[in-house]
Amino acid sequence: MTHRVLTIVAAAALLGAGHFASPSLTIVPSQSGPRVHGQVRGVGMVAWFDITQPGIARSLETAGMEATRWPGGTPADAYHWQTNTMAQCPGHAYHADPRSSFDNFMQDVAIPAHLDVAVVVNYGSNQDCTGGADPAEAAAWVAYANRTKRYAIAWWTVGGELWNRNTIDVHSESGNPAQYAEIEAAQYYAQMKAASPIPIHVCVDVNPRFSNWDSIVLAKARYDCVEMHYYAQGKNVNDERLIRYGARGLTRLIDVLKGELATAGHPDTPIYVGEIGSTGRRVGKQTQSIVQALYAAQVIGELVNDGIPRATWWLGYSNCYGSDNGGDFSPTLYGWQSFGSGMIFSGGPAPNCRAPDVPPLGTLLPTANAFVVAKYFVRDGEHVVGLRVNSLPDVQAYASTYAGGYALLLVNRNEDTSVTIPVTVEGRSSGSGGTLVTYDKTLYDASQHGEWLSPTIETLPAWQGSFTVTLPPWSIVAVQIN
């Protein structure tokens, strides 16, 4: 059975298939979908945060991260890796922490946390901001990483969001997709590939929301992969809309991109979702609450269903914002924190994060706890299986094989009501039990009083015929079935 059919089965259930029947969920092993890739559990790290502080690698391991990205987003087009500095181009006051060199990142974070690394190389600017970056600088980075240091980094992207008008691009035609594709194809691609003693993927920037960019780049560039980004909301954020529809928007854009790649004659090109977040604009209360965690869990499920090989959340550690410097703390948003940030691990109290309720460095924030739950569902090398869902309009469900058994990722999107679900496995009449892992609104609400609680882990007892799972209000539950 294809992924498309699997998606229709789930969508029909969400639209009310069997509305008058009793709630139920059936795993259908005979409906086999895409391979599961462990590297969809990834998070980006940035050169402007001091990554040498103790405990960072341990926090990433705790959350179950398998992949990361360096040195950041759009500032990558100002970053010069050999000096660990940012070009000071007009209108772009980026900086790199002097402690956060590439080698320190690898030795202090990536290697001890066992993370597979992707690197964004500078396309946009030279050191003096008088022109574009030198492709030889990118090739030298590849050679240093893979030949000199033997870091075995396989994923490399040329530039960060070159389609974005706010990105640094000091070439003669800033933001021009034809020029980007021509320079990438003629200079970056060949030099970077030749510099590595191991096979590498060279990705180009794409944005399926900007068809004029994609159609030119995908036709003219040379590439082994593409990197897209996804933020479900812009400057206007809404809890219910994010929880109900945000993750579905990701799959819609991935489908658009797959169509663009097919049109360009590259239908099997790997798609790397290099940045994912709830909003690309005003981070605030929502980014630190259970709401973003519920969205993140569904995003992970969608990535698995879509067969995506790699993804990195934006972002691991960074500074934070209060209402006095642009954060969104509308009373219509649910949450308890006085700080907002893209970070999903606390950077701790700092000069650029002065809110009184910021927890200690390394604390897992709600979205990181969504990843903790997801590591009990996502296991590299497994595959998606089908689901039949009846009368569960508030539940989003995903299923895969797992270590000889099966796993479910379930999200209850109802804020006030728990949901009890009888679960059966087609073709199996009994089981020896398993594991239930839960993160929910009640656990998050403890943060109102400064207590940051982790997901709970329970034993699923042996069962005959079926077993029952109860999802608390606003909850993420992983079920491993032996």
Q: Where are the domains of the chain?
A: 3-36+392-481, 38-374
Assign 377 to helix, strand or coil. Answer: coil
Give the Cα separation of 229 and 205 in Å (integer): 9
Q: Is the CB of residue 208 less than 8 Å from the CB of residue 214?
A: yes
- Residue 12 scores a pLDDT above 60: no
Give the Cα separation of 316 and 312 in Å (integer): 9
- Residue 39 scores a pLDDT above 70: yes
Query: 388-438: per-residue pLDDT in tens?
Result: 999 999 999 999 999 999 999 999 999 999 999 999 999 999 999 999 999
Mean pLDDT of 442-459: 98
Architecture of domain 38-374: Alpha-Beta Barrel (3.20)
Query: 81-100: per-residue pLDDT in tens?
Result: 999 999 999 988 899 999 99
Provide the pLDDT for residue 319. Answer: 87
Query: 170-200: per-residue pLDDT in tens?
Result: 999 999 999 999 999 999 999 999 999 999 9
The dihedral region occupied by 308, where left means phi > 0, alpha psi between -120 and 50, and beta the remainder, is: beta
Provide the pLDDT for residue 14. Answer: 39
Total number of residues shown for the chain: 482
Assign 177 to helix, strand or coil. Answer: helix
Query: 241-266: per-residue pLDDT in tens?
Result: 999 999 999 999 999 999 999 999 99
Which two tokens mark 423?
Answer: 């679960």
- Residue 239 scores a pLDDT above 60: yes
Query: 47-81: per-residue pLDDT in tens?
Result: 999 999 999 999 999 999 999 999 998 999 999 99
Kind and range of the H or E element at 273? strand 271-279
Provide the pLDDT for residue 351. Answer: 83
Which two tokens mark 60?
Answer: 């990433």
**Residue 199 CA to chain centroid, in angstroms?**
24
Closest to 64 in 3D by CA, of 478, 459, 461? 478
Mean pLDDT of 208-235: 96
Closest to 292 in 3D by CA, of 441, 477, 447, 442? 441
Handedness of CA 17, 23, 28, 34 (dihedral sign): positive
Give the mean pLDDT of the chain.
94
Mean pLDDT of 278-302: 95
Query: 318-352: per-residue pLDDT in tens?
Result: 988 887 777 789 999 999 999 999 999 999 998 88
Give the Cα separation of 467 and 460 in Å (integer): 9
Assign 208 to helix, strand or coil. Answer: coil
CATH topology (fold) of 3-36+392-481 = Immunoglobulin-like (2.60.40)
Provide the pLDDT for residue 20. Answer: 57
Mean pLDDT of 111-118: 98
Query: 262-282: per-residue pLDDT in tens?
Result: 999 999 999 999 999 999 887
- Residue 3 scores a pLDDT above 50: no
DSSP secondary structure letters along 32-87: EEEEP-GGGSEEE--TTS-TTSTTHHHHHHHTT--EEEES-SGGGGGEETTTTEE-
Residue type, 282: R
Give the Cα separation of 469 and 217 in Å (integer): 47
Share of the chain above pLDDT 90, in %: 89
Inter-axis angle of helices 290-305 and 3-14, nearest 10? 140
- Residue 6 scores a pLDDT above 50: no
Mean pLDDT of 16-40: 86
Q: Is the CB of residue 228 less than 8 Å from the CB of residue 274?
A: yes
DSSP secondary structure letters along 306-373: TT-SEE-BS-SS---B-GGGT-B--TTS----S-B-S-SB---SBTTB--TTPPPTTPBPHHHHHHHH
Give the Cα separation of 310 and 427 in Å (integer): 32
